[in-house]
Amino acid sequence: MKRIYTLFLLSLFTFSAFAQDEEDNFDMSVSLNSDLFFGFYPFFAGSYGSGSVDFTFYGILWSGGTGGGTGEEAWGNWTEVGVGVGFPVGDALYVSPQIGLLNGSLTSGTSTPVLAEGIVPNLTVGLDTDILEGELYAGYYVGFDHASSTSNFLHYWLSAGYKLNSFLSFGLHLEQLNFTGGNDSEDDAGFPFYVSLGPYVQFADPKGGAFARFITGGDLRSDEQVEESGNDISSFYKLSVGYSF
């Protein structure tokens, strides 16, 4: 429980520091997502600050995925919530390191869901110009030792695209999810659940706000990696619809 209190106090102190500026701004986006591996999951992300350095927060309701529920193979209503900071780099990049708190049973290996089953330090870098867009995300999911067996994961993606106009953009999306072992795993126990590369297309309100994005791609894993993971999907797709305000 000390880890929980430390994270909570850190977020309060960080928030208090940013709340001093009367000219601060609040931004938030909410999206509904569905993909072939995680299933359906709502996501939100927000920031509060002066623009030079922002307080950031986010949440993911993973409970709708293939491991929803509380059975032996379930993830235990898996939920992720986190805080961090965000700051611009130059005129085109926005960098946001964050740390998330995991709740459920996926990484901790418990038979029932638990609060603070693990943490996920993560980094998001966004690119936005008049004609280019892109995003880099990397998160490392680490389970706390609530049970005899923990599971750790590395999840990352990289997208880069071209804005044909203010309504339509398209590009390429690379995404990978890796199992990286746990407290009772061999040193070489890691393997990818999927490695996808393919196109995406996005439609957005030219005035800002609503957007819809579809991502698809083929699986780049070898036959040996497919067999080891037990996840034999040959393609990947993700649909997102959301609103930024």
Supply the mean pLDDT for the chain: 87
* For residue 46, pLDDT beyond 60: yes
Band the pLDDT of 5: cuts 50, 70, 90: very low
**Domain ranges, residue 86:** 2-244
What pLDDT digit, counting tens, does each position of 125-177 carry?
999 999 999 999 999 999 998 766 888 999 999 999 999 999 999 999 999 99
* For residue 74, pLDDT beyond 80: no
Q: What is the pLDDT of residue 13?
A: 52
Q: What mean pLDDT do residues 24-32 have?
A: 91
Number of structural domains the chain divides into? 1
The residue with tokens 């995003």 is 135
Tell me how far apart the terminal alpha carbons of the chain are, to the nearest angstrom: 35
Q: What is the pLDDT of residue 64?
A: 54
**How is residue 148 annotated by DSSP?**
S
* For residue 95, pLDDT beyond 50: yes
Band the pLDDT of 183: cuts 50, 70, 90: confident
DSSP assignment of 41-75 equals EEEEEEEEE-SSSEEEEEEEETTBSTT-SSSTT--
* For residue 66, pLDDT beyond 70: no
Band the pLDDT of 98: cuts 50, 70, 90: very high
d(CA 187, CA 228): 15
From 65, 54, 74, 42, select the one nearest 177 (Cα to Cα). Answer: 65
Spell out the residues 6+ positions from residue 7 whose beta carbon is closer than 8 angstroms to its own. Answer: 83, 99, 101, 119
| CA distances in angstroms from 241 to 31, 48, 199, listed in the order given | 5, 23, 17
Q: What share of the chain is helix, strand, coil (3-state, %, to 5)?
A: 10, 60, 35
Among 19-28, 78-87, 183-192, name the one with the lowest average pLDDT: 19-28
Q: What is the pLDDT of residue 139?
A: 98
Q: What mean pLDDT do residues 89-103 have?
A: 96
Q: What is the pLDDT of residue 215?
A: 98
Q: What is the pLDDT of residue 8?
A: 46
From 93, 89, 95, 115, select the one nearest 104 (Cα to Cα). Answer: 115
From 201, 185, 74, 71, select the one nearest 133 (Cα to Cα). Answer: 201
* Residue 78 CA from chain centroid, whole number: 13
From 197, 191, 239, select the one nearest 218 (Cα to Cα). Answer: 197
Q: What is the CATH number of the domain that holds 236?
A: 2.40.160.40
* For residue 69, pLDDT beyond 60: no
Sign of CA dihedral 12, 19, 137, 244: positive
Q: What is the pLDDT of residue 162?
A: 98
| CA distances in angstroms from 223 to 121, 137, 193, 230, listed in the order given | 31, 27, 12, 11
* For residue 203, pLDDT beyond 60: yes
Q: What is the pLDDT of residue 6?
A: 54
Q: What is the pLDDT of residue 201?
A: 98
The residue with tokens 């590009």 is 171
The three-class DSSP label of residue 80 is strand
Q: Kindly state the percentage of the chain with pLDDT values over 70.
A: 84
Q: What mean pLDDT do residues 116-121 have?
A: 95
* For residue 16, pLDDT beyond 60: no
